[in-house]
Amino acid sequence: MKKVHDYYFKKAKQEKYHARSVFKLKEIDDRFRIIKRGLTVLDIGCAPGSWSQYLLEKIGSGMIVGIDIVRVNNIDDSRFTFIQDDIMKIDLEELKEKTGNIDLIVSDACPSTTGNKFMDASRSISIVKRVFEISASLLKKEGSVVAKILMGEDVGEYVKELQKMFNRVTLTKPKSSRKESREMFIIAISKRAES
Ligand SMILES: C[S@@+](CC[C@H](N)C(=O)[O-])C[C@H]1O[C@@H](n2cnc3c(N)ncnc32)[C@H](O)[C@@H]1O
Question: Concatenated DSSP letters for 16-57?
Answer: T-S-TTHHHHHHHHHHH----TT-EEEEET-TT-HHHHHHHH
Question: Tens digits of per-residue pLDDT, 121-159?
Answer: 999 999 999 999 999 999 999 999 999 999 999 999 999
- Alpha-carbon distance of 166 to 180, in angstroms, equals 30
Query: What's the pLDDT at 111?
Result: 87
> Is the Cβ atom of 55 under 6 angstroms away from ligand 1?
no
Determine which residue's CA is closest to atom 18 belonging to ligand 1: 86
Phi, psi of 51 (to 5 degrees): -65, -40
- Alpha-carbon distance of 44 to 154, in angstroms, equals 22
164 has catalytic annotation? no
Question: Tens digits of per-residue pLDDT, 94-116?
Answer: 999 999 999 999 999 998 888 89
Ligand 1 centre and the CA of 45: distance in Å?
3
Fold of 7-191: Rossmann fold (3.40.50)
> Is the Cβ atom of 120 under 6 angstroms away from ligand 1?
no
Active-site choice (148, 160, 173, 191): 148
Query: What's the pLDDT at 137?
Result: 94
Task: Assess whether pLDDT exceeds 50 at residue 1.
Answer: no
> Is the Cβ atom of 110 under 6 angstroms away from ligand 1?
yes
- In the chain, pLDDT over 70 holds for what percent of residues? 97
> pTM to 2 decimals?
0.96
Would you say how long the chain is, in residues?
195
